[in-house]
Amino acid sequence: MSGGLLGPLEVTLRAAAPIPLDLSFQVAPGEMLALVGRSGSGKTTTLRGIAGLWRPDSGHISVGGRRWLDTGEGVCLPAHRRRVGVVFQSYGLFPHMTAEGNVIAALDHLPRAERGAEALRLLRLVRLDGLAGRRPAALSGGQQQRVALARALARRPDVLLLDEPFSAVDRDTREALHDELIALRRHLPMPVVMVTHDIGEAQVLADRMLVIEAGRAIAQGSTAQVMSDPAALRGLGMREIAAMLPATVAAQEDDGTTRLDTAAGPIWLPGVGAAPGQGVRVRVLARDVILSRARPEGLSAQNILPGRVLSLTPGDGPGVLVRIAVGPDEIIARITRRAAEALALAPGDTVHAILKSMSVARDQVTLSGGAE
Amino acid sequence: MDWTALYLSLKLAGWTVAILLPVSILAGRFLAYRRFPGRGLVEAAVMLPLVLPPTVLGFYLLVAFGRASPLGEIWEGLFGQPLVFSFQGLVLASVLFNLPFAIQPAQRGFEAVPPEVREAAACCGMSPLRALWTVDLPLAWPGVMTAMVLTFAHTLGEFGIVLMVGGSIPGETRTIAIAIYDRVQAFDAQAAGTMSAVLVAISLAAIAATYALSARVGRRLG
């Protein structure tokens, strides 16, 4: 996809204003990093720094060895000379141009005769080729977001930046767009940085997470690592702690549920709209997992997976996070300290994890993308 | 009906618009997007001709353009004729007293372009000049257009400054507004009436045309 040689994005930023910032991170080609934090934590400012729309007091940004910013040497490329694709929070579409025109506007590097065909190819990629002639005002929020994505990809960017790209659309549209972004991942060989305040969104979409609080990284690592680290999540709420459990769609049952096979056994979810054989990831919220020493009998909950306790981490409050291996995968349970003591749980113990099936809602099933 | 005076007025308004169009775009965009110390003072200075009596501005311009002033001296050295009481002097005065009309609406037009749209232009790889041409200008165009029509119409109607700087030399500085005044002084009510009606018609047509054009642009942007 990229015209240039793809390389990792390396970022170091320090600033006192508009937000105190002291951050350093890397993103590999094809990898998606989510910058997660509350509003005002500095995540959008960081993104603007990478794009060249804001200049930090000191810092260094390079992509595949090409320097975009090096304050020590006085290097600071303006935004239009950085090969970067940006999807803005409210998209920033050019209102006087059609969807096609918006994409063509970012195709200056191509000969004029080839721009129309390339714009249509990109609009087809985001499944919008039928609406190429519409102006942004005549498109829905989700459609506008897709135009913005097609436009961001048009430049064949060395880095793709997404600034809260799903915050301006309604819930249903957001979930549809999540699935599409996951499906698009194989067309995204460059480093991708996404800003979001929604930890669930970060977990579903990103490979790695960096949690920002007051301009500093308080945690950085794979989404699974960050998700099982209560310290990382203190600013974001323990309620959102969850694990992503890979599964395969096995069958659509007659009662309207869907059977999913995980490595540790089958689970049933209310009708998942995917064909048998399709790989999915099920988001299991830690607060919706109950633990039992013995295999429970006579429960209304159907989804019980045998597992082994990996670790117990006390949180700030009365809760304990328990990481459980279910086959080769991991889930997290959040139980009270009192319950953990009553069960005398220790690493290595065998437990049964009861997943409250109604809580594993359909909207938390996401189609696995090519990045898996 | 003094056709020469009408022609001179239109010529003056045309030159003023031609000179002020780039000024309007560049200064309007600069004032809309840049934050710099003294910005308030610059904006106030631009607005000054709006509040000063034309005679005050005319007086200063007369002094500044006069043969005793450095500007007047240089002008006369270059072109062999004085700047005051000439068409060129009138154009220069007209450009200055139209600055608020040319800059302010354009500035508002550029201010109305959402910052994210301008940033998106840069992130699409557009140089500042290309972004001005393909994004900023089309979106700010209603403001620039209003600025130019106001400048044109205001030049046709200006009286005080023209009288102070240009006098009333037929074919050189006697604009239609001055000609009307002359006719009234000469108790030629009929000619004054005809010319006044023509001036009203032209001004009305110019302003109506901008409103129609802005409405069309508004519909286009939906």
ipTM of this complex > 0.90? no
For domain B3-221, which CATH number applies: 1.10.3190.10, 3.30.70.1380, 1.10.3720.10, 1.10.238.10? 1.10.3720.10
State the smallest CA–CA distance between residue A175 and chain B in angstroms.
25
Instruction: Tell me the C-alpha distance between B8 and A76, whole Å.
Output: 52
A97 in a structural domain: yes
Cα–Cα distance for residue pair B152/B155, rounded to 1 Å: 5
**Residues of A whose CB is below 8 A from B128:** 80
Q: What is the CATH number of the domain that holds A62?
A: 3.40.50.300
Q: Report if residue A351 sits inside a domain.
A: yes
Q: Among partner residues A53, A137, A151, which is closest to B119 by beta-carbon distance? A: A53
* Residue B65: other Cβ atoms inside 10 A: 22
Which of A185, A209, A238 terminates a domain? The answer is A238
Q: Give the pLDDT confidence score for residue B220 in this predicted structure.
A: 59
**Are both A226 and A306 inside the same structural domain?**
no
Task: Establish if B112 touches chain A: CB-CB under 8 angstroms.
Answer: no
The pairing of beta strand A365-367 with beta strand A279-285: antiparallel
With beta carbons under 8 A apart, name residues in chain B contacting A93.
Answer: 117, 120
List the structure tokens of B174.
């006697």
> Rounded CA gap, B217 and B203, in Å?
21
Please provide residue B62's backbone torsions phi and psi, each rounded to the nearest 5 degrees. Answer: -60, -45
In this structure, the answer to whether residues A186 and A267 fall within a common structural domain is: no
Average pLDDT of span B187-215: 88
User: CB distance A96–B220 less than 8 Å?
Assistant: yes
C-alpha dist (Å) from residue A333 to A137, A183, A234, A262, B84: 46, 29, 16, 17, 89
Residues A329 and A343 in one domain: yes
A251 plus A228 within the same structural domain? no
As for how many domains chain A has, the answer is: 2
A254 & A230 share domain: no
A232 and A247 part of one domain? no
Sequence letter at residue A204: V
Closest CA to B141 of B35, B47, B38, B221: B221
Task: Give the pLDDT score at A177.
Answer: 86
- Return the closest-CA partner of residue B86 out of B17, B8, B143: B8
CATH number at residue A288: 2.40.50.100
Residues A113 and A179 in one domain: yes
* Residue A10 one-letter amino acid: E
Q: Are A38 and A236 in contact (CB under 8 A)?
A: yes
* Whether A226 and A298 share a structural domain: no
Please report, as a single letter, which amino acid is at residue A104: I
What does the CA dihedral B8, B12, B15, B21 come to, rounded to 10 degrees?
-140
Mean pLDDT by 10 residues, chain A (372 residues): 70 90 95 91 94 94 94 93 94 95 94 94 91 94 94 95 89 83 87 91 90 90 82 72 85 88 88 79 87 86 90 81 90 89 91 72 43 32
- Find the residue in A nearest to B218 (Cα): A96
Return all residues near A298 (Cβ < 8 A) that are at least 6 apart: none
> Are residue A168 and residue A251 in the same domain, yes or no?
no
What is the residue range of A351's domain? 243-367
> Are the beta carbons of A68 and A242 closer than 8 angstroms?
no
pLDDT one-digit tens code per residue, B122-172: 999 999 999 999 999 999 988 999 899 999 999 998 888 888 888 888 888
